[in-house]
Structure formats: C-alpha cells, structure tokens
C-alpha cells in the first residue's frame, strides 16, 4: 500500500488567518469560530468519556437503583395478575382468597432466593403461578398429555411440564390409604426417594431429577377427583407429603403444601393421614395450607402426634365457611 498517496494532510498556516483584501476577512473569521467550536466539542466529548470511565462504580450504583425500582414495581404487577385471574368468568377457578393465599406464599419464598414450586394440575391459574414465581423454577404435572404439549408449544422452553399416568380411583381411596399404612415401614415410608418405591400411592415415573429438587412449595390442584371413577388426588397428596419430608436444601427446612378442594372427603382424609393436622396452618374457602418439615430417614410415622379424629380439620373448615359467608 502506498501511504504517501493515500494520506492527505491539511496544514493551517498562521498567515491564512490574516485579513485578505476583497472582503475575505469575514469568511476567515467564520472559519476560525467554526474551528474553535469543533475543538471545544471534541474536548468536551473526550473529557466526558474519561470521567464516565473513571466513575464506573457510580454507573453500577445507578443500575442497582434501577433494579431496586423494578422490584418495587412487582407488587402492582402481581395485584393486576390476581385481579384479572379472579375476575375471569370461569366456574372452576379458585376464589380470590385462595389465590391470594398461594400468591403470598410464592412471593415470600421468592423474595430471598429462587423458589422451587411443584404444581399438580393444569388449571385456569397455571400462568398466574408461573408469572408469580418469576426467576424461580415452576414444574407442572398433569394427567392430560395433550394439554401439556399445548402449553409447551405456546410457551416453549419457558414451560416445564410432565404428564402423569394415575392408576387410582376415588372410589378406592380408603383401601389405598389402608395399604399405605400397612407398608409405612417399607415402600410407603415418609422419607424416601420415590423413584425407587413400589408404594401404591407413590408417583415413581417422573423424570429422575424431580425427586431430588428441594421443593419449597407444592400445590395439589389435580388430577380430577369430582366423581368415584376419576383418579382422585390421593397419589398427589401422598407424593407431596413424602417430597416435603425428604427435602434437603432449598430456601428452608419446611415445605408449604396447599391442597385445593379440601372440603371433599378424599382430599380431606388423605391430607389428615399424610400431611397431618399438626401441620395445618389455615383453611381458606376450600384451600388447606400445611407447612411440613423434613424428617429423619429412619422415621416411619407421617404424623408426630395423634390425628385427633379430625377435630382441627373440622374446626378449620367450619371457620372458613363462617368467614366466607
């Protein structure tokens, strides 16, 4: 490359700024002012660039302030989500009180660290739970493989869901509970990895990694359980109870377990047997809230104290109905 011909150099000679005859002085003065303005602009730009480089920590502080502002905006967003979910004209949706109870638990869990949420059942509130646990992990389980695939097609990799094949029937729930109680020292014990379990109520065909995740919150709102021929939620409740008691790590040593349609007999009795009255925190409408702590691996009893013939459950349900009315 010929640098001699490719480079052009402009020289400003001192004599070029002297007044020239024929009125050229005004034009020269304008050129001088233009040169000064360009020089000043260049100097200012370089000075600003240097200062911004030197003070990069303040930029980080500004970014942190912006992040803090974004966090503060979360409550209005969640309020809006709850409002529109509650206002939907759908008969089988949760009540406002039920949604608010679960939402408060999810937001409290995710405030300090990413929250692991496991949900049985794809319902009207599915996208609400996923949105509220933004930044955490939300996994959905449902017996409808087609519905799972529809969500996967719609949300892509942002949705994690798996289909479950239930073999139980609501009409057999008492027999199933008795079978578990007879084998609670073996395959139906409260602390175990269900992947290797042959317990009749244990769900053992999920992806392997789901059994070792420390679940912070579990919601049982499926499968269907409104008639004797439907699968019922016995397996979901038992599995939730075992996962909570076998928890290692996560945001704490306890798991919040919510059972929807708690006023139905199968859900109520299974919860009393495996989640236990001692862990019942409250009942909102037909939503029961349990807080279940982990157990030692050599534990064989789900409940530490006597179940009390359901007195606490009955009292909670009675209180909930009185409040609702």
The DSSP-derived string for 63-77 is: HHHHHHHHHHTHHHH
Range from 9-18, 84-93, 112-121 that averages highest in pLDDT:
112-121
Q: What is the mean pLDDT of residues 85-114?
A: 88
Percent residues over pLDDT 70 in the chain: 70
> What's the Rg (C-alpha) of the chain?
33
Residues 202 and 98: their CA atoms lie apart, in Å, by 27
Rounded to the nearest 10 degrees, what angle do helices 234-245 and 265-274 cross at? 20
**Considering only 80-84, 98-102, 152-156, 198-202, which range has the smallest mean pLDDT?**
80-84
Cβ of 106: how many Cβ atoms within 10 Å?
24
C-beta of residue 294 within 8 angstroms of C-beta of residue 248: yes
Average pLDDT, the chain: 80
Residue 33 pLDDT greater than 90, yes or no: no
Q: Is the pLDDT of residue 23 over 50?
A: no
Find the range with the poorest average confidence among 161-175, 213-227, 243-257. Answer: 243-257
Q: 104: pLDDT confidence band, cut at 50, 70 and 90?
A: very high
Q: Write out pLDDT tens, residues 185-215.
A: 999 999 999 999 999 999 999 999 999 999 9
Two structure tokens written together for 91: 């008969």
| Global confidence as pTM | 0.73
Q: Is the pLDDT of residue 180 over 50?
A: yes
Beta-strand pair 137-142/160-163: parallel
Higher pLDDT, 294 or 18: 294
- Beta strands 287-293 and 280-284 are antiparallel
Using pLDDT thresholds of 50, 70 and 90, give the confidence band for residue 52: very low
Q: Report pLDDT digits (tens) over 53-82.
A: 444 444 344 344 333 333 433 666 777 777
In degrees and rounded to multiples of 5, residue 160 shows phi and psi of -120, 110
């Amino acid at each position: 490359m010929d640098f001699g011909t490719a480079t052009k150099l402009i020289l400003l000679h001192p004599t070029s700024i002297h007044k020239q005859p024929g009125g050229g002085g005004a034009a020269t003065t304008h050129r001088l002012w233009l040169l000064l303005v360009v020089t000043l602009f260049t100097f200012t730009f370089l000075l600003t660039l240097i200062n911004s480089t030197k003070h990069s920590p303040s930029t980080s502080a500004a970014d942190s302030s912006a992040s803090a502002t974004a966090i503060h905006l979360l409550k209005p967003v969640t309020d809006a989500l709850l409002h529109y979910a509650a206002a939907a004209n759908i008969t089988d949706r949760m009540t406002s009180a039920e949604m608010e109870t679960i939402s408060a638990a999810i937001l409290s869990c995710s405030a300090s660290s990413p929250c692991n949420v496991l949900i049985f059942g794809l319902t009207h509130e599915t996208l609400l739970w996923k949105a509220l646990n933004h930044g955490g992990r939300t996994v959905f389980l449902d017996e409808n493989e087609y519905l799972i695939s529809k969500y996967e097609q719609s949300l892509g990799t942002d949705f994690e869901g798996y289909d479950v094949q239930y073999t139980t029937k609501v009409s057999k729930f008492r027999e199933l509970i008795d079978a578990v109680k007879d084998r609670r020292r073996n395959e139906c014990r409260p602390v175990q990895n269900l992947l290797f379990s042959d317990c009749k109520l244990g769900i053992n065909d999920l992806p392997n990694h789901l059994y070792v995740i420390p679940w912070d919150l579990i919601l049982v709102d499926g499968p269907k359980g409104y008639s004797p021929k439907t699968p019922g939620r016995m397996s979901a409740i038992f599995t939730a109870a075992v996962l909570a008691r076998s928890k290692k790590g996560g945001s704490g040593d306890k798991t919040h377990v919510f059972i929807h349609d708690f006023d139905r007999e199968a859900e109520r009795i299974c919860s009393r047997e495996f989640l236990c009255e001692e862990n019942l925190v409250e009942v909102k409408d037909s939503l029961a809230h349990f807080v279940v702590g982990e157990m030692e691996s050599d534990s064989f009893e789900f409940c530490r104290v006597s179940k009390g013939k359901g007195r606490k459950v009955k009292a909670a349900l009675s209180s909930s109905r009185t409040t609702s009315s």
